[in-house]
Structure 1
Amino acid sequence: MGDKRQRARVQGSWAKPAPKAAHSTVFFVAGGQPVTRSWSTGPGTFEFHQPSAPIRVIPEEKTIEDAGVYEVSQGPTGVSRLQLLPRFLPMEEADWMFATLMAELPWSQKTNYRMMGGAYGEPRLTCWYGELPYTYSRSTMQANPQWHPVLVTLRQAIERETSHTFNSLLCNLYRDGKDSIAWHSDDESSLGPRPTIASLSLGDTRVFSLRKKPPPEDNGDYTYVERLKIPLSHGTLLIMEGCTQDDWQHQVAKEYHDRGPRINLTFRTIYPEPERASHR
């Protein structure tokens, strides 16, 4: 009987617990660099190995809302500069111009062509004014040489403000929140180097987004680039100049809630073929 009770103590709850072996595991962090942690029972140990490469952090998107001049980047190509002028137009004047241009401009839907073939209609309406045609996304817009009187008035006011002359105008009509324009830069050779583009907004507010182009070593990965957003309200003028088109992309994304129509007028300078070479 005594032997049975002794064996029960050894096999049951009275038995001394066996020592536990130390454990370790490997965790992976951003960039694929391993971080090793190890521990053991009793007086434990903890080991941390710093990654050999720095951990990259996605920059927080910044918002620009106040009037002013913003140097958003400076690099080997030069300075990228934005100038924001909210309420460039008085409210009543902006209301009248918006209604007039909505009703009287020759709006149409442009067809673009994909690199791998196939055509699609742009998710907005457009028209083009100037002496020369304008080609982008592999299709050409023919110019309307006879400017609407409201557009002439606006061009003169913007030229006084910017001390820059414009000979062309791309008009965009976003009919609702589903209309948009994808990421791009206005860097066509017809615009010359470091173009100045003046963008006037009329109608409902839409968010104008910008993202900096990644360095060559990122192979086109936009994950870690700087990003900006600018809510463009009725009567606001935004001027993009310097290296903005070289170093940044911009878009107006779709918004899946109620948005009224918005007109965007982008004043530009287009060069004919002989002058383009001399401006490079």
Structure 2
Amino acid sequence: MISSCSSEHMCYGSEEVRFTRVMADKRQRARVQGAWANHSKTTVRSLQVHRNSSANVAGTHWLPNEQPAADGRFVFQNPTEVQRKIPEEKTIDKEGFYEISSGPTGVSRLYLKPGFIDPKEADWMFEQLYAEIPWKQKSNIREGRSYQEPRLTAWYGDLPYTYSHTAMKSNPHWHPLLIMLKDHTEKVTGYTFNSLLCNLYRNGKDSIDWHSDDEPSLGQKPIIASLSFGDTRIFEMRKKPPPEDKGDYTYVERIRIPLSHGCLLVMEGETQKEWQHRVPKEYHDRNPRINLTFRTIYPETQRN
């Protein structure tokens, strides 16, 4: 019995030993597997952190105005460089005086008076000017090449007038209607004029490109009084850019003025020094328009 019990005990003891060893092996495998699992999770987590860090680093290239905060999140900061906006174009179509800019040398000013000439009187004046002014197409020179102006012109004055590298001969024989219009314009504006450039825009394709009436013969601060007859055309103006913009007109101020039948527009002060103007082409039907631009020409001895 004792031997029997002893052998039984030994059997059970062997079973316990085997059981203990099996459990130890399982625990060991569990620890090993757990270590691999933890290592795998750590590796995945590390990869995710690495990827997020890489994304954030890349993000700094795409979002230069974002800076990492202490907790690793990005905080948006306003750009330090001022964003320039293109000024909204202004329209002037009501009677009045307009100071369009002011600088160290003085003020650029416009005076607009629609209906300066009564419509019925403007009608017959247009017909007479259209038929009796000796209209011609002037040739100019640009970049060494000759081209014809896309409009017709005529010049009146005791002195010749040179622009775009070609001269218009003096013509002291004023048409009586032009003399009457000059006198009327001088009385209303208070200025005196000794010359006149007439322009005939035959249709919407006739135009004049960007320019300033700043020829030396016009003096330091030219005054231009412009009378319009016939169809309405848009008169555009743009301010000359500052030197640092190197001729870039993207951000300059712009003005549109519809010049209607019988209206008067006066440009004075620093307008020719600070601004450019033009009458652009219009790609739809336009009837003829006559533009009379009164001005003063100075002989060379008086050009200071």
TM-score bracket for this pair, using the shorter chain length: 0.7 to 0.9
Instruction: Give the number of aligned pairs.
Output: 254
Q: What is the correspondence of 1:78-93 to structure 2 with a 5 Å cutoff?
A: 78-93=106-121
Distance 1:26 1:242, change over 3 A: same
Give secondary structure in 1 for the equivalent of 2:171: coil
Aligned to 1:127: 154
Aligned to 1:138: 165
Alignment of 1:103 with 2:105, yes or no, is no
Deviations 1:211-237 (A, max 9, x none): 111111111111111111101000010
Give secondary structure in 1 for the equivalent of 2:75: coil
Aligned to 1:62: 90
Q: What is the correspondence of 1:169-184 to structure 2 with a 5 Å cutoff?
A: 169-184=196-211
Aligned to 1:209: 236
- Greater Rg by CA: 2
Q: Paired residue for 2:184, among 154, 157, 177?
A: 157
Which residue identity lines up with residue 64 of structure 1 in the other structure?
I
Write the distance in 2 (CA, Å) between the matches of 1:57 and 1:44.
34
Write the distance in 1 (CA, Å) between the matches of 2:140 and 2:62.
47
Q: What is the correspondence of 1:25-64 to structure 2 with a 5 Å cutoff?
A: 26-27=61-62, 34-36=64-66, 45-64=73-92
How far did 1:83 drift?
Answer: 0.3
TM-score, length of structure 2 as denominator length: 0.79
Q: What is the correspondence of 1:180-199 to structure 2 with a 5 Å cutoff?
A: 180-199=207-226
Write the distance in 1 (CA, Å) between the matches of 2:147 and 2:288.
22
Aligned sequence identity (%): 63
Aligned to 2:32: none
How far did 1:238 drift?
Answer: 0.2
Distance 1:37 1:234, change over 3 A: farther
Which residue identity lines up with residue 265 of structure 1 in the other structure?
L
Write the distance in 2 (CA, Å) between the matches of 1:265 and 1:26.
59
> Structure 1: 5+ residue runs without aligned partners?
1-15, 29-33
Which residue identity lines up with residue 89 of structure 2 in the other structure?
E
How far did 1:44 drift?
Answer: 9.7
How far did 1:52 drift?
Answer: 2.4
Distance 1:82 1:44, change over 3 A: same
Give secondary structure in 1 for the equivalent of 2:76: coil
Write the distance in 1 (CA, Å) between the matches of 2:48 and 2:115.
76
**Is the 2:66–2:74 contact (alpha carbons within 8 Å) kept by the matching residues of 1?**
no
Higher strand proportion: 1
Write the distance in 1 (CA, Å) between the matches of 2:65 and 2:254.
30
Q: Paired residue for 2:267, among 240, 246, 250?
A: 240
How far did 1:48 drift?
Answer: 2.2
Distance 1:19 1:161, change over 3 A: same
How far did 1:35 drift?
Answer: 3.8
How far did 1:180 drift?
Answer: 0.6
Write the distance in 1 (CA, Å) between the matches of 2:79 and 2:232.
45
Aligned to 2:26: none
> Aligned Cα RMSD in Å?
2.1
Write the distance in 1 (CA, Å) between the matches of 2:148 and 2:302.
32
Which residue identity lines up with residue 201 of structure 2 in the other structure?
Y
